[in-house]
Amino acid sequence: MGIWRTKKIADLMQEAGDNQKLKRSIGTPELVALGVGAIIGSGIFVLTGVAAANYAGPALVFSFILSGLAAGLAALVYAEMAAMIPVTGSAYTYAYASLGEIIAWLVGWNLVLEYLVASGAVAVGWSGYITDMLASMGVFLPRALVNSPLSGGLVNLPAILITVVMTGVAIVGTTTSARTNKIIVGVKILVILAFLALGAPRVKPAYWHPFLPFGVTGVVHGAAIIFFAYIGFDAVATAAEEVRDPARELPLGIIGSLALATILYVAVTIVLTGLTPYTNLNTPSPVTTGLLAAGVRGASLIVGTGALAGLTSVLLVNIFAQSRVFMAMGRDGLLPPLFTRVHPRFHTPWLTTLIVGAFVTLIGGFLPVDIIAELANVGTLSAFFVVSVGVMVLRRTQPDLKRPFKVPLMPWTPLLAIAFAVYLFFNLPGLTWIRFGVWVTLGLVVYFAYGRRHSVLAREEESKAVPRPPYRPSPLEMPAPARKPFPFKLPAPELLRMFLPRWRRD
């Protein structure tokens, strides 16, 4: 089978049960918060206005709905896979069970782009927001301590500090991480609700005309642009082995978080485009622009608080998700065994989380990641594509598997998810394609240098393929040699008695 070997779902489930060191302590509310924490970042305060100004105008509402439906197709696919294979690893594990080891490795390798590299960009964004907020209060941080060496500074200290704190939260425990994330997500939602409460009474319907300034084409193009605002719900699936009832709660967490995010995106878009003409929203902070135009004071503080909460939750969830993917890859032998170590007290993959936090610290503190972060979109789209193909393959090859949740309208739902992923894939900049090719090549080098030889499945195949030497018993086990017959025939007993001495006969 070689690099195309697949892992049996029964073996995945047995391994998860035998190695159950992770604590099952989270339920549907925590999963929804985990998904919302990953989906809604600072983009809700930036992307809504910029996309309305440049692509769809007030009709961006329909763009969000269309994009949400497209993301929902992928969410349904993930929901079936997560309920059927409630094992940590998300898209990596699903690919291993359906399409083969090499595809699984590439998916896991590309998820590094979605979680780890993107976390570095999020940490830099968090640093920018906290620096601006402190500056508005008269506190100015030294430029050398808020910029990377390649950006004219020494180190981005705020990015390092927030990464260290979130790494510590992720190590302390799954329950602590879930509770912390719920608090941060709660703050984020409260800020969004505050914006809606302040803005809704000041909406002027006249600003919604013309409603379709860019036509239907603008709505579709806007949907493709803002699709990346929905990236992150797949992080819910990485917590599969820490969910109390994964077969029921994982689909609820994935679909529920996406539905809540869509409602918030649509509501913000409706209010924002009603506060000021959409042409005025092409700014780095369109929500602040809209609130100021409506006469709301303290707009920068409101937006800054929401953005900080959004970025903090994204950073925490990304560190959490990446550590679980690495743990699954380590358990399969594709990464060194140290990635599988679980803390005896906290019941978390503490060493893996520490490694992820260290890399995010280096990226956020010392590298300009604005260009590298674009690769996160490619990694996510490749995962969506593979999982959608995988769910169809398993329906065909293993139709009798227990599926607590089934994708409706099979096979059209995954086919549409594939079509949308491919469309977005081919609309990315050419330079992103080149960088992605370099990243995949590097991943293949790592796989053939380490993963292929250390794979658990590879070792099992080798042990079955090597013929056993013939059994040779020890000298103690050898049977006694047969006695050789006499070379001549003995005479009959009667003749022998004639030759015996007389005293013997007596």
List, as one string, the DSSP characters of 154-174: S-BHHHHHHHHHHHHHHHH-H
pTM: 0.82
pLDDT at residue 473 is higher than 80: no
Greatest mean pLDDT among 2-11, 20-29, 260-269, 291-300 = 260-269
pLDDT digits (tens, 9 = 90+) for 203-238: 999 999 999 999 998 898 888 878 878 888 888 888
Between CA 299 and CA 294 the distance in angstroms is: 10
Token reading at 16: 């998860």
Q: Is the dihedral of CA 328, 388, 68, 42 positive or negative?
A: positive
Amino acid letter, residue 192 = I
Q: How confident is the model at residue 103 (pLDDT cuts 50, 70, 90)?
A: very high
- CATH code: domain 2-461 is 1.20.1740.10
Q: Where are the alpha helices (DSSP H) in 200-298?
A: 215-226, 246-275, 286-293
Q: Where are the domains of the chain?
A: 2-461
Half-sphere exposure (CA, 13 Å, Cβ side) for 75? 27
Among 64-73, 133-142, 230-239, the range with the most confident prediction by mean pLDDT is: 64-73
* Rounded percentage of the chain residues whose pLDDT exceeds 90: 36
